[in-house]
A = this chain, B = another copy of it.
Amino acid sequence: MSASGEDDLIARYFRPLATDPGSLSLLDDAAILGGSADDLVVTTDAIVEGVHFLDIDPSDTVARKALRVNLSDLAAKGADPAGFLLTLALPKVDAAWLAAFAAALQQDAATYGCPLLGGDTVSSPGPKMISITAFGRVRKGAMVKRSGARAGDRVLVTGSIGDAALGLDILRRGKAATATASDKAAADFLVGRYRVPQPRSVLAAAVRDHASAAMDVSDGLAGDLAKLCAVSGKSAVIELAKVPLSEPARGVFAAGATSIEALVSGGDDYEILCTVAEAQWPAFAAAAAAQGVAVTDIGMIVAGKGPPVFRDATGAPVTLARTSYSHF
């Protein structure tokens, strides 16, 4: 876009979100994050129309998803949000789309205490793309890594798994759409889980205080756990029957319209997967309960370097044909 067109767009839609003095009201080349003894945790995730969100998704949910997938990373690292940068690639300037996008982003920035610090707006002949870099702060050395899992740690996951994959299936008129055709509330819940992640920011402190390793589940529980295990040099044994499913997901499963394999390899959960030593588990559970976030114990970290083993209700190992969601 033209330089003045970009300036106008920024002033109109995004300056109201730049509430932190370090943003310099988006009038400079750069933003300032003030010096601090705390470590700064930085993460960046981009979403592309037609790949990570659908062209029929409303722009307010696109905005929330773009920010929240990054807030989910910060929460899983035990970091409190400090601000974000927004890069927007747009094929054209659509005032209605932008107004709803910016309004939703402003709400989420306020809700999560994560003000807009800066960004870039570029024209692109391609699909809409939103790239966000988010900053969080933790006490020096306190960021929770993927690499700290120890044998004997419990494997915990927040919320419920597989909802977003079913929501996407509903939007694509797959089997889950048929299974929820007579239950609008269930379908709306699952679609909502796909469109608007719920970052577990309120658990950041509990993760920081109690988890030995953590990550957010974005590409499928099974594949993401495999990554955590690999970088920790450990393996895990997971009871598939313990994987937490929402009531709507149970309904779709009961109707034969999905499989446990699809649910644990589906993308876009944005829940926290973490490992917690046995001695820390009561304190972590209490902290999660105090915040009203469900946390479920799904298995245990074990010695060894193989991929995690998933067991069915009889204790027999289940071979998963795939463990992660692929965008192709």
Contacts and interface: CB of A to CB of B under 8 A. Distances in A.
Contacts of A87: 44, 46, 87, 131
A126 B125 contact: yes
Given A4-B324, A29-B216, A215-B28, A140 B43 contact: no
Given A140-B35, A324-B3, A326-B3, A29 B48 contact: no
A5 B325 CA distance: 11
Interface string A66-82: 00000001101101000
Contacts of A33: 39-42
Given A2-B328, A48-B122, A327-B1, A89 B31 contact: no
A123 interface: yes
A227 B39 CA distance: 34
Nearest to A220: B3
Nearest to A327: B123
A4 B265 CA distance: 13
Given A42-B118, A133-B85, A146-B27, A124 B48 contact: yes
B126 A28 contact: no
Contacts of A120: 44-46, 131
B125 A125 contact: no
A124 B130 CA distance: 12
A45 to B, nearest CB: 5
A178 B5 CA distance: 32
Contact of A124 (B44, B117, B127, B135): B127
A231 interface: yes
A197 to B, nearest CB: 14
A229 to B, nearest CB: 12
A43 B165 CA distance: 35
Interface string A1-22: 1111101000000000000000
A30 B73 contact: yes
Contact of A44 (B119, B126, B223): B119
A113 to B, nearest CB: 17
Contacts of A316: none
A46 B131 contact: yes
A29 B215 contact: yes
A3 B325 contact: yes
Contact of A74 (B30, B48, B127, B133): B30
B219 A3 contact: yes
B32 A41 contact: yes
Nearest to A74: B30
Contact of A38 (B35, B39, B223): B35
A134 to B, nearest CB: 9
A308 to B, nearest CB: 15
A51 interface: yes
Contacts of A231: 27-28
Interface in A100-145: 117-120, 122-127, 129, 131, 133, 135-136, 140, 143, 145
Given A24-B145, A42-B85, 17 more contacts: A1-B327, A3-B325, A7-B227, A27-B146, A31-B42, A43-B118, A44-B85, A45-B120, A46-B87, A46-B131, A48-B123, A85-B133, A89-B126, A120-B131, A122-B327, A124-B127, A126-B126
